[in-house]
Chain A
């Protein structure tokens, strides 16, 4: 077990190393002066430039530069944004909760819809129910996410007028941002008529959540279906059946748990899809999250922000993947034997 953990940590460290080298080299690859790109300060006098160059160790060889860069990253000093001229770390802490909030709701919706449907499809393999669920999920899998978002806006916001088009909250309500999570912020604020504000925040959430949840749901259905099919074919199900367990008991006690376990490591793929979809969803619904921030930064050639966003988001993804692997090995004893991972 410890060897397994060590190998995973080794993978984590190597991967983070490669990502940080890539992010570091971006500072030199982007057009413009490295000192400006790394610090994010555009209007410098010659004296300030020299001081900053010394401070960032950019006059030294690449190796020294890299370690200085790494040190700054660990301290959380990412420089300034070109466009807003604020600390990138502050900016990031402002946008990150919004993305996490949206993603968590989307993944909850995906789990609540995807797992039961996948289970049902797997149990009724090759029957009508299975075919309907599977075709629907294949179709939903092929709809481009940006088109779904636009269609939902067209239908529910423009034609029916039920739901708001964009943003997180009606502009009438001024909620000070403490945590960045909209519901917690509302709870912390001392605004009148809180139920109406909650309702408004909820209405703003519906369309982005549906848009974002579509792709992960179809993936979950597919994973769960094939996992359930392979579990249903295994020997212990036959044994349980011969012992006389009812169909419901069989599914509740044996199938569900054993089917969910093998798909845990595939959740990494799920989070990757979620991350990509989140960027486009945020763009369509003007949701102030990481994806919107990054795409805006690209429009404005805000190189320090692009560099930092890449570093943090990829590091976060890698971290999540390794964490999933470790959780999976803690829950699933079969994997632990396979120490080489």
Chain B
């Protein structure tokens, strides 16, 4: 094959590019990355995609099975529930709540957590010790239990669930940021930068931060998966999104009574939740793998 490169110079990929190409060569992770993109697309454009509104009731078509069964109707692709609401539309709107809100909550938690973590990571002595103990305490309480407690104080409801999940996620970001920063600060290039006269802020911004971005993205995928599980679990327990809301967990708990009559109302939201969690987890795993094989 002819060499099109007329310059006598090799291109070396930068660290980000290297991670990216490693990530792309991991096929399951790459497929799941597209799946995540698909979920984001659905969450963003739910009103355009969904055939009906999430609340629209069709009294003439209650408890229709999915359209591939003989009793099904093709105008309700995944069937309907006991009030005649289209399951597909509800799942699509549910993506907005369970998946979309999880992404946003994790993002906000990341911004707050990284700021606090940078503070904790850069400080030394008593202040940092107090910080560590405080966050270790919070981390030793299981995330869902903490979320349940916060909901118990604030009262049930979707917005309180979001606050609870946010408060649960922030310490995790603080913890991982602090550890990443402290590991980075021990390295020699930071000492070199310090000898050049860089102050704390410059070291943090120019030396440390670009090197921990990937760790933070990894933590972000973990946080998103925790957020999805927690929001859905609280919805399922009846402490989060209220009955009637198209949130996936709440949809499941609503259909428990119909489990024998209409099992698709249990299986299909579960499958959707499972796919979203699997894709987020696999992307996170692929990323961790890419980072590891890059450093080897």
* Residues on A facing B (Cβ under 8 Å): 11, 14-15, 18-19, 26, 29-30, 135, 138-139, 141-147, 150-151, 153-154, 158, 268, 272-273, 275-276, 279-280, 283, 294-295, 298-299, 306, 310, 313-314, 317-318, 321
**A139 vs B274: C-alpha distance in the bound complex, in angstroms?**
9
- Asked whether, in the complex, the Cβ of B273 is within 8 Å of the Cβ of A144, the reply is yes
Shortest Cβ distance from B266 into A: residue = A150
The residues of A that contact B152 with a CB separation of less than 8 Å are: 298, 306
Excluding A18-B137, A147-B273, A154-B263, 11 further A-B contacts by CB distance (< 8 Å) are A11-B136, A30-B153, A141-B281, A142-B274, A150-B259, A151-B267, A272-B142, A272-B143, A276-B143, A276-B145, A314-B140
**A158 vs B137: C-alpha distance in the bound complex, in angstroms?**
43
- Asked whether, in the complex, the Cβ of A318 is within 8 Å of the Cβ of B137, the reply is yes
Confirm or deny: B232 has a beta carbon within 8 angstroms of a beta carbon on chain A: yes
**A15 vs B137: C-alpha distance in the bound complex, in angstroms?**
5
The residues of A that contact B278 with a CB separation of less than 8 Å are: 138-139, 142
Q: Report if A150-B141 is in contact (Cβ < 8 Å); known contacts: A138-B282, A141-B281, A144-B233.
A: no
Q: Report if A317-B140 is in contact (Cβ < 8 Å); known contacts: A144-B233, A280-B236.
A: yes
The residues of A that contact B151 with a CB separation of less than 8 Å are: 298
Q: Report if A11-B145 is in contact (Cβ < 8 Å); known contacts: A151-B270, A154-B266.
A: no
- Asked whether, in the complex, the Cβ of A314 is within 8 Å of the Cβ of B267, the reply is no
Confirm or deny: B260 has a beta carbon within 8 angstroms of a beta carbon on chain A: yes
- Asked whether, in the complex, the Cβ of B141 is within 8 Å of the Cβ of A317, the reply is yes
Sample (23) of A-B pairs whose CB atoms are under 8 Å apart: A14-B133, A18-B133, A139-B278, A142-B225, A142-B277, A143-B274, A144-B232, A146-B249, A146-B252, A154-B267, A272-B140, A272-B142, A273-B142, A276-B143, A276-B145, A279-B148, A298-B151, A299-B238, A306-B149, A306-B152, A314-B140, A317-B140, A318-B140
What are the 5 closest A-B residue pairs judged by CB atoms, nearest first? A147-B270, A142-B278, A142-B277, A276-B144, A276-B142
The residues of B that contact A139 with a CB separation of less than 8 Å are: 278
**A302 vs B181: C-alpha distance in the bound complex, in angstroms?**
43
The residues of B that contact A279 with a CB separation of less than 8 Å are: 144-145, 148
The residues of A that contact B281 with a CB separation of less than 8 Å are: 138, 141-142
- Asked whether, in the complex, the Cβ of B153 is within 8 Å of the Cβ of A295, the reply is no
